[in-house]
Amino acid sequence: MDRFGLRGRTALVAGAGGIGAAAATALAEAGASVVVADVDEQRLAALAGVVPLHADLTTADGSRECVGKAAAILGGLDVFVHAVGTNDRRPVLDTPDDVWERIVALNLGSAFWTGRAAGELMVRAGYGRVVYLSSVSGQLAHANHAPYAASKGGVNQLLRVMAREWAPSGVTVNAVAPGYTETDLTRHHLDLPGVREELTSLVPAGRLGTVDDLVGPILFLCSAWSSFVTGHVLYADGGRTLV
């Protein structure tokens, strides 16, 4: 049974880290043909069942080239998942310009550049699913997260505008916003003394999230089941944004 309506679909996942890798694997297992793009060739080599694509998404040209190559390999593009991001935890007054520029370029710039390129193909084809990885930081005012929080808040508003503009063409644009989740991006911070316990105490579910907790929401927004859902940020956070 093709539960998600993804069999035979074509998908590009930007980001071969924990969440991106899990999303790519799930899409492939659901029957989609999947290309995964990342600048880290070791991460790409660790994935099975997908086509790896080395790409630098920190520039507009690199992002456009990535989407174009993926579509050429796949013979079209039905699904695009943007799972690229970085963070640098420090107070606003201690954040240098280069840190701001690097985080905003990768987290928000690449979201715009790749999303625009994917959207152009999807609007022309009359079908598409775009899914961004946002964060609870796009809503909550976490200290020491200024560039990251600003970039994720920007992604949330970017996808809403894309969703409004592309809805008449059968293209949906949404996001999954993880709460405190164990990933390569967060593991070092979570291992600092007391941090894991403090953050867990803020989650009504009583635990931190896992990458597997995000796969279902991502697959749903990529699927045929979500055809009338667009412009939404789905919080997969164990209730963190409730308190």
Work out the pLDDT band at 186, boundaries 50, 70, 90: confident
Percent of the chain with pLDDT over 90: 93
Domain assignment present for residue 4? The answer is no
**Long-range CB pairs of 150-158, under 8 A, 24+ apart, other chains included:** 150/104, 150/108, 151/85, 151/103, 151/104, 151/107, 151/108, 152/85, 152/107, 152/177, 154/104, 154/107, 154/108, 154/111, 155/107, 155/108, 155/111, 156/233, 158/108, 158/111, 158/112, 158/115, 158/132
pLDDT tens profile 144-172: 999 999 999 999 999 999 999 999 999 99
* pLDDT in the model for residue 159: 98
Residue 243 pLDDT > 90? no
* pLDDT in the model for residue 149: 97
Domain assignment present for residue 3? The answer is no
Domain assignment present for residue 240? The answer is no
* pLDDT in the model for residue 170: 98
Work out the pLDDT band at 183, boundaries 50, 70, 90: confident
Domain assignment present for residue 5? The answer is no
- Average pLDDT over all residues of the chain: 95
Work out the pLDDT band at 175, boundaries 50, 70, 90: very high
Collect all residues with Cβ–Cβ distance below 8 Å to 20 and sequence separation of at least 6.
Answer: 13, 14, 36, 38, 81, 83, 84, 133
Residue 190 pLDDT > 90? no
Domain limits at 57? Answer: 10-232
Domain assignment present for residue 105? The answer is yes
Work out the pLDDT band at 3, boundaries 50, 70, 90: confident
Looking at the 3D structure of the chain, how many domains does it have? 1
* pLDDT in the model for residue 165: 98
* pLDDT in the model for residue 108: 98
Q: Is residue 148 annotated as part of the catalytic site, yes or no?
A: yes
Which residue among the candidates 127, 132, 148, 180 is catalytic per the annotation?
Answer: 148
Residue 73 pLDDT > 80? yes
* pLDDT in the model for residue 181: 87
Cβ–Cβ < 8 Å for 42, 60: no
Work out the pLDDT band at 180, boundaries 50, 70, 90: confident
* pLDDT in the model for residue 38: 97
CATH at residue 23: 3.40.50.720
Mean pLDDT value of segment 75-82: 98
